[in-house]
Amino acid sequence: MPAMSPDEPRDSIHSRRAILRELDAEFEREMRARGFDPAQAENVALPSGLAKLYAERQRIRALIAEIEGSESEREIGKE
């Protein structure tokens, strides 16, 4: 695995957060367009298009959490 520059994880997390904001907005629009309340996304059976958007949002959230965890571990190691 290539070594990352100190700024690379931060850039990566910022870009993923931007992608997540876009996915969140699209998901909310699509939910409302189909008559769903976005707050109930985890409690209803979603049509395949919405299910794909939901899954992609979850994947991006997991990547962000992983990056944040890596950054925290590096910070702890520096102390």
Is the separation of the CB atoms in 64 and 17 below 8 Å? yes
**pLDDT reading at 78 higher than 90:** no
Q: 52-65 as b/e, with b when 16 or more CB fall inside 10 Å?
A: ebbeebeebeeebe
Per-residue pLDDT tens for 6-64? 556 667 889 999 999 999 999 999 999 999 999 998 899 999 999 999 999 999 999 99
> How far apart, in whole angstroms, are the C-alpha atoms of residue 8 and residue 22?
21
Q: For position 69, what pLDDT does the model report? A: 86
Q: For position 12, what pLDDT does the model report? A: 84
Instruction: Say which DSSP state 7 is in.
Output: T
**pLDDT reading at 3 higher than 50:** no
The structure's pTM equals: 0.74
Q: For position 70, what pLDDT does the model report? A: 80
